[in-house]
Amino acid sequence: MHRIASGDLHSTYNLGDLRITSLRDGYVDMPIGRLRQHGNKPFGDELPEQVPLAGGQLRLSVNAFAIDDGNEVILVDTGASNAWHPTMGRLPEALDEAGIDAGRIRAVYFTHTHLDHIHGLVLADGRNAFPRLARLLVPREELGLFRAEARLERFHGMAEPFEAGDRIGTHVDIVDAHGHEAGHSCFRVSSGGERILIWGDTVHVPSLQFDRPEVTWEFDADQDRARESRLRLLALAADDHCFVAGAHLDSPGIGRVVRSDASFRFEPL
C-alpha cells in the first residue's frame, strides 16, 4: 500500500488493483470524561500525559473511506454533514479535493449508525449527496436505529442488511466488531495480496487505546463487548500484518498495528 496523492482533506493509496482514499469530514472535541476506566468510571485528572488535549478536550478526527475499483466507488461511512457540530461536514469538499465525482459513488456501507457516520448521505442544503446511489448497506442489528433517523427517511426503504461473515462483491468481507454499537462492523478489503481493515470506531482516542485497549468510551453501547472486540481486532490486525483505517484515528487514519510489550502500538502509514 503506497500513498499516491494527498491534500488537506484527503490521502489516496494503492491497495492491489484498488484505490483507497481517506476523506476528512472534520473533527469533534469531546470532554475527557467520555473515556472510561473499568467499571465505567470517567477519566478526570488522572488522564495520562500521553493524551494530547485541544482546549482541555479530546479532539477526534472524523474520517470516511472510499474504495475505487476504477469503475465505481464504494464509500464506507459518510461523516456528519450538518447534523452535529459545525466542525464536521467537509466530506463533499474532501471528495472534490480527491477528484472523486459524487456521481461515481454507487454504494455506501455503514460501520454503524451513529450520526457522525450516516448523515453525510444528505448535503447541508437537503439534497442527496450521492445522486446515483444504488446500494446502502446497514448492519442488520441496527436497521431499527437507522430507520429512527427522520432526516434520512428517504433512504429507509433502500437499507440492505448485512451480517458479520458476509462477503460483499469480490473484495469485501464483514468482520464482527459488535459492542460500540449493536451491529458495529469492520470491512476487510483485499486486493492483489494486500488487505486493509476499515474498522469504524474500534479506537476513539489513539493516543491511549492502543496502549490501553481496556479503556472504553462513554458512547460504547455495550462497554464489555466493545472492549473484547477492540482487543480481538487489534490482535487480528497485528498478527495478520494488514493495514487498518479508522474513522477516529488522526487523519488520514491509515497504518498498521504492532504488538508492543503487553499491548499494541499504531504505526501511521
Q: Could you say which of 68, 77, 116, 194 contacts Zn ion (CB under 5 A)?
A: 116
Give the CB-nearest residue to Zn ion.
201
Which range of residues in 36-44, 129-137, 201-209, 230-238 is near Zn ion by CB under 5 A? 201-209
CA angle 165, 168, 174 (to 5 degrees): 35
Q: Is 95 exposed, middle or buried (0-12, 13-18, 19+ CB in 10 A)?
A: buried
Span near Zn ion by CB under 5 A; candidates 2-10, 133-141, 152-160, 197-205: 197-205
Which among 59, 208, 178 has a CA at the least distance from the CA of 112? 178
String of contacts with Zn ion for each residue 139-178, x by CB under 5 A: ----------------------------------------
C-beta of 192: minimal distance to Zn ion in Å?
A: 30
Q: Quick one: 9 or 249, whose CB is closer to Zn ion?
A: 249
Closest separation in Å from C-beta 267 to Zn ion = 22
Which of 10, 28, 8, 27 is closest to 19 using CA atoms? 10
Residue among 259, 263, 267, 255 nearest 22 (CA): 255
Size of the site for Zn ion (CB under 5 A): 2
Backbone angles phi, psi at 190, to 5 degrees: -125, 140
**Nearest approach, Cβ of 62 to Zn ion (angstroms)?**
7
Stretch that binds Zn ion, among 4-12, 44-52, 146-154, 200-208 (CB under 5 A): 200-208
* Contact yes or no for 186/245 (Cβ under 8 A): no
97 near Zn ion, rule: CB under 5 A: no
Q: How far apart are CA 147 and CA 85, in angstroms?
A: 22
Q: Of the candidates 201, 202, 246, 255, which one interacts with Zn ion according to CB under 5 A?
A: 201
At its nearest, how many Å lie between Zn ion and the CB of residue 86? 17
State how far the alpha carbon of 96 is from the alpha carbons of 102, 122, 141, 184, 214, in Å: 8, 16, 33, 28, 38
Binding residues for Zn ion (CB under 5 A): 116, 201
